[in-house]
Chains A and B, each alone.
Chain A
């Protein structure tokens, strides 16, 4: 049994201009200790899908239209999307925790780091303040912050960007969760610090056996980090598979295009590949394949209005089959 089983999750935002289908029927599973990457451009629904799981979508305007997300641990099975707020509160921060993109805005500037680190412990566990502080110091040491007993009493502004992200990681992992959702944890950081942070997440994952969902738009980061990868486009998963599938044998035109547009993979002086057109507007009813208008594969307007079929084409490698997305798609049908 997978640790987390998400089925047909649909989240939309009811705006003045109509209903925006941010996440449009996605399904995925996550096993214990596994690392899953979710890749996509901004607005593809990668963050919204994970926020939905933890009930962090502002409602209204957001609304979870349907789907199930079964989270299973030794105490039984819970549907995260259809459980009470009380149940969810027991899971959030304890069994499933999250790191956000911007450590500058996610730490409370008025509170000492110690207060913020102890909070999840004091809420979820029967522990004295003294022991909690001891644990908080340990947690800081484990993410590589030197001089932790002194540092723990400081305020967030006294830390550098990379250190703040370490504090966030320490805080997210202090209750030894089963699942860690990392939403673009290194986008706001420098490359050298990014390497440090990814190393720390990897190492803590190994120590605790936590499953990690890494949300990012940087294909480079997922390549070295994730075992399985979901590529999202316009609120849907268009391709999923192991890192080898996605990087060595990508099938969906969007996955291929994303990789082609990375500067480091191209010769100097050559013009960089760009994906023609813009991502579709997700407001209103769905009309056929979202990628058809940007695809250079031959297809007729009637075909473009058809929906693609999400199908497993080899063990563990699923792709959305449609004339506009996969070369010679009929062979897989």
Chain B
């Protein structure tokens, strides 16, 4: 299978200004700092990381909602970064997003019907009323809502139902790539599993490609084929979902993995946690060299910490940032 989406050395920087009248750029926030990824058609890539690591900025840059500073986003070979606003608008039908908070992402003044019909008309421009009605009905059935409710407003639905509507809205223009930005974080456990089931079913049935963003490893592990772990604007580990979870190499992934609470009192009592010290460094003035060094429990010298890590394929399909502070016995991989 060929790569459907290729991201090459993508960078998104935000300038930081000081002063009101004579603005002066004092620093840059490197939200996304050289990310390269590729997705095959029909693949689900899980993107994990703490808040502030650039997951959302990366997805917004892929959508071109945020202009890239450097690098390329190739969708079926077409570079989205080089497209004009108008052409991008046409291209955006193929890439749709699902957001975290279904309370904020749906227009409270639009009925379900008007929300969905607006989204459908981006691809199918000249539908008459009857055709539109049948399409909306169809769509509501797919996501498991009663079509009789299409004249209702978002506030009349529960959180889980609203997230279903948000999914329907994303699917309405018949996209090929879905970016789901923490779609289940705001939901209860019991509702969460309903939404995950629905997403997985739809992606498989419609052979969609999906980027699934979350900070919850257990969810990401369940849903994705491959997982990319992001830390301070960079991908630090990438690999097959199950392999990566069974044998994480980077200490950040290990820490993330061990921080996920296990609902079993025995396991919780016996297992060893890797609790990271401190917070991630600020992306405004990131430390020189390895950004993870000061939180790492591994021993390393100060000179080592100032060196950059090398992102390397250590086992076939398993990439990791090799650095004295990030992996055990790093020399074996060099």
Chain A residues contacting B276 (CB-CB under 8 Å) are 192, 196
Q: Chain A contact residues: over half helix, strand or loop, or mixed? A: helix
B138 close to A (CB within 8 Å): no
B275 close to A (CB within 8 Å): yes
Contact bitstring A212-227, B, C-beta under 8 A = 1, else 0: 0000011111011100
Contact at A268–B262, with CB atoms within 8 Å? no
A300 close to B (CB within 8 Å): no
Q: Which of B6-14, B16-24, B75-83, B193-201 contacts A (4 or more CB under 8 A)?
A: B193-201
B273 close to A (CB within 8 Å): yes
Contact at A163–B196, with CB atoms within 8 Å? no
**Shortest Cβ gap from A17 to chain B (Å):** 13
Given the interface pairs A192-B50, A261-B192, A263-B222, the reply to whether A160 lies near B279 with Cβ below 8 Å is: yes
Question: Interface residue count for B (Cβ, 8 Å)?
Answer: 40
Which of A42, A162, A195, A196 is B188 in contact with, Cβ under 8 Å?
Answer: A42
Kindly state the separation between the CA atoms of A295 and B120 in the bound complex, as whole angstroms.
Answer: 38
Contact bitstring A251-268, B, C-beta under 8 A = 1, else 0: 000000111011111101
Given the interface pairs A192-B276, A278-B158, the reply to whether A247 lies near B189 with Cβ below 8 Å is: no
Contact at A217–B188, with CB atoms within 8 Å? yes
Given the interface pairs A195-B273, A195-B275, the reply to whether A272 lies near B260 with Cβ below 8 Å is: no
A7 close to B (CB within 8 Å): no
Contact at B50–A221, with CB atoms within 8 Å? no
Given the interface pairs A191-B216, A263-B222, the reply to whether A271 lies near B197 with Cβ below 8 Å is: yes
A125 close to B (CB within 8 Å): no
Which of B193, B194, B261 is A220 in contact with, Cβ under 8 Å?
Answer: B261
Quick one: closest A residue to B257, CB to CB? Answer: A191
Contact at B190–A261, with CB atoms within 8 Å? yes
Contact at B262–A223, with CB atoms within 8 Å? yes
Kindly state the separation between the CA atoms of A238 and B238 in the bound complex, as whole angstroms.
Answer: 43
Contact at A274–B218, with CB atoms within 8 Å? no
Contact at A272–B50, with CB atoms within 8 Å? no
Quick one: closest A residue to B219, CB to CB? Answer: A263
B51 close to A (CB within 8 Å): yes
Chain A residues contacting B255 (CB-CB under 8 Å) are 192
Chain B residues contacting A42 (CB-CB under 8 Å) are 159, 188
Q: Which of A243, A248, A264 has the most CB of B within 10 A?
A: A264
Kindly state the separation between the CA atoms of A163 and B280 in the bound complex, as whole angstroms.
Answer: 12
Kindly state the separation between the CA atoms of A266 and B158 in the bound complex, as whole angstroms.
Answer: 26
**Shortest Cβ gap from A287 to chain B (Å):** 21
Interchain Cβ contacts under 8 Å between A and B, 6 examples: A193-B279, A218-B261, A223-B265, A263-B193, A263-B218, A264-B263
Binding site for B on A (CB under 8 A): 41-42, 160-163, 190-196, 199, 217-221, 223-225, 243-244, 247-248, 257-259, 261-266, 268, 271-275, 278
